[in-house]
Structure 1
Amino acid sequence: MSGAISNILVDHVHIHDSPTGVNVKTGRGRGGYVKDIYISNVLMENIHQGIKATDQCDSHPDDKFDPYAFPITSGITFKDIVVLNITTAGNFSGISESPFTSICLSNVSFFTTSDPSISWVCSNVSGSSKNVSPEPCPELKSSLSSSSCFFLSYQDSQVAVS
């Protein structure tokens, strides 16, 4: 990602037999933003890592990038998600100069094949959660409120055609 992406709705998805279920990635030198993403009603089966969101991707097409162009990653909501037969629930790894903000998890259940106490990896991220199992890392445990999360429904994304 070297530009911007926002106002994305992902709804009613079945993902199976995949290394990663949902993957959001960007990195230093990319700039831009990833914001207002709403992912809901997802069933995942036989997944190694359920959610991966990282600003640690360091690939660039050439060496003419600005290493101080930090991406903004904010307003990503994960709602009504069930993941069966998984190794790692989530990995949220932002960068210290531009951490992930307003990450929301609501009604998310991971049924891990490993020790649930090591199923989350988090750094440089803040957000909130409600009804998440196993419990997410401390950075994602603040109380969930509708004002702190991005919500978009299918109805909101309809375009009138005349």
Structure 2
Amino acid sequence: IKSGWDEYGISYGMPSQHIVIRRLTCVSPTSAVIALGSEMSGGIRDVRAEDITALNSESGIRIKTAVGRGAYVKDVFVRRMNLNTMKWVFWMTGSYKSHPDDKYDPNAIPMVDGISYSEVVAYNVTMAGRLEGIPSAPFTGICVSNVTVQLAKSMKTPWYCADVEGVSSGVTPAACASLADQGAAAAPCPFPTDASPMDGFQLQQCTYIKSYDA
């Protein structure tokens, strides 16, 4: 999911929004099952993904951005994922450094906020999560609940977090301290109950008749 690159995306100013992903089955050995960014300078918001199955993939959900992108990634909701064999289940980075040219604004700091993951089961995983925000602008509002990750081998640090803030509940292995544990009895991470604007979308059926000159 993208929306423009650095100053060009900022200038155009059109967000990618109201995106619904359902019943996706994916094999993606060198990339994420679902990725947001890194070209997100028009903004990304209101993304709803559910009932996802993936096998032999690099990561489950990945958010990529960098200084110079500006805009935001917010209100992303993911639930009911069944994953098997990957490096990372959750992966975020605020230092994806590729730029189209040297004209980007170094003061264009992206905002990442309101990211919810729930009801995730993953097997044969190298690392549960690698979440790295931006030191001057931490990623906030991250919620992870009802997640079970079976690691391929015992790791001293199954999660790595830097410059991120949020909460967790019912997560195994336990998430990093910056995702404060609310206890297994805590309410699950939110998922919208209202209809998405895309739920009422209907494709039009068209008939095309090719005519021939006499």
Same fold (TM > 0.5): yes
Q: CA RMSD in A?
A: 2.0
Q: For residue 54 of structure 1, what is the aligned residue in structure 2?
A: 93
Tell me which of 32, 47, 53 is aligned to 1:14: 53
What SS does the corresponding residue of 2:60 show, helix, strand or coil?
A: strand
**Structure 1 partner of 2:29:** none
Higher relative contact order (Cα pairs below 8 Å, separated by 6+ residues): 1
| Structure index of larger Rg | 2
Q: Which of 118, 143, 160 is the matching residue for 1:121?
A: 160
What is the CA–CA distance in structure 1 between the aligned matches of 2:94 and 2:189, rounded to whole Å? 20
> Which residue of structure 1 lines up, in the alignment, with residue 139 of structure 2?
100
Deviations 1:65-105 (A, max 9, x none): 01111100000000000011000100110011110101000
Distance 1:77 1:101 in 2: 11
Distance 1:5 1:88 in 2: 26
Q: Which residue of 2 aligns with 1:40?
A: 79
Identity of matched residues, %: 34
Aligned partner of 2:109: which letter?
Answer: F
Assess if the C-alpha contact under 8 Å between 2:70 and 2:110 holds in 1.
yes
Match of 2:111 among 57, 60, 72: 72
SS of residue in 1 equivalent to 2:178: helix
Identify, as 1 or 2, the structure richer in strand.
Answer: 1
Q: Which ranges of structure 1 fall in alignment gaps of 5 or more residues?
A: none
Among 192, 196, 206, the alignment partner of 1:152 is 192
Gaps of 5+ in 2: 1-39, 203-214
In the alignment, the residues of structure 1 paired with residue 147 and residue 167 of structure 2 have an alpha-carbon distance, to the nearest angstrom, of: 12
TM-score, normalised with respect to structure 1 = 0.91
| Residue-pair matches, total | 160
Q: TM-score, normalised by structure 2?
A: 0.70
Residue range with higher mean Cα deviation, 108-117 or 49-58: 108-117
The one-character-per-residue Cα deviations of 1:6-60 (angstroms, maximum 9, x if unpaired) are 0100100001101111111111100010000000000110111111011110111
Distance in 1 between the 2:64 and 2:89 partners?
14
For 1:113, give the aligned amino acid.
A
